[in-house]
Amino acid sequence: MGNKLSCIRRHAKPTKDKTTYFRVSEPFELMTFLIKKMSDVSRSDIKKLLARGQVSVNEVYVTRYNHALRENDLVAVHYSKRRIAFSHPQVQILYEDDDVIVIDKKEGLLSVTVGREHEITAFEILLQYLKAKDLRNRLFVVHRLDRETSGVMMFAKNKDFQTEIQRCWHENVTERKYVALVEGTPDPKNGRIVSYLSENAKSLKMRSDNRDNGGQKAVTDYRLLLGNGAYSLLEISLETGRKNQIRVHMQQMGHSVAGDKKYGGSPSPINRMGLHASVLAWRHPFTGAACRFESPVPKKFTTFIGLDKAGNTH
């Protein structure tokens, strides 16, 4: 694969887990208990073991120093760093290194909090996973996907990466493609939409204007992949990444994204909004490695539009 695909999942070699067990004979706070039992280990090293999630009580990992121990509790100290398995029905990790974590997000999940009442987000799910590995771990937002949009997105694991990837976003991000199920059939079948987007402060809807109205310039390229008359499957490439850009431009073209009621769409025939982030490619700002991640088109899209398993249209 060469240097271009150096951003691939790293598989660690398995190591034996050296574990020491202690049985609790009377109530103690966890930190005090460990200091007493591990007299040959410094206080700072014991704190590190706790912070890294390497101590369990009755087979449950604990990081709080003042966790209350009861008689007959079993305390285990795992000297090998704990490997945290990640599994979540709405998030799949595609790649992770010291700087970045790339995921495939399901539709219906917020990317980050929007400031209203508390709701679980992709950000929170990943932060919990990282904190379970080491409480010092942090997570930073790089870009967003709308709640009802599925597909590939990334988060930074340190501030330096976030700053650098965002500072030269258009140079660093080399490919950003979506697949959209839209109403009707675009004419022409391939094209480019250029407009200026501004947001209504009350409705929070984006408005598109062909003339420079002081808003942000937005450029969207589209290409027809499949169609059945009533709906079309489009491949969409973004030159810019503005809020709701694809959804607004599809409405402007007269072919709203399926199920996108906010921007003129009828109720969805597939019980979700027809927008999926299929490809995200970028150049690592520190290593220079070219990284490309792809998420397959949701089966609901292809089945509805009339594409069978063999890749033939009905």
Residues with a catalytic annotation lie at 146
Question: Which ranges constitute the DSSP H helices of the chain?
Answer: 30-37, 43-51, 122-133, 159-167, 169-172, 245-253, 299-305
CA distances in angstroms from 3 to 8, 93, 102, 283, listed in the order given: 10, 22, 19, 11
The set of residues, in sequence order, having a beta carbon less than 8 Å from that of 241 and lying 6+ positions away, is 143, 169, 173, 176
SS3 state of residue 55:
strand
Q: Where are the alpha helices (DSSP H) in 138-269?
A: 159-167, 169-172, 245-253
End-to-end CA distance of the chain: 36
CA separation for the pair 189, 201 (Å, rounded):
34
- What is the distance between the alpha carbons of residues 191 and 55, in angstroms, rounded to a whole number? 58
CA 179, distance to chain mean position in Å, is 17
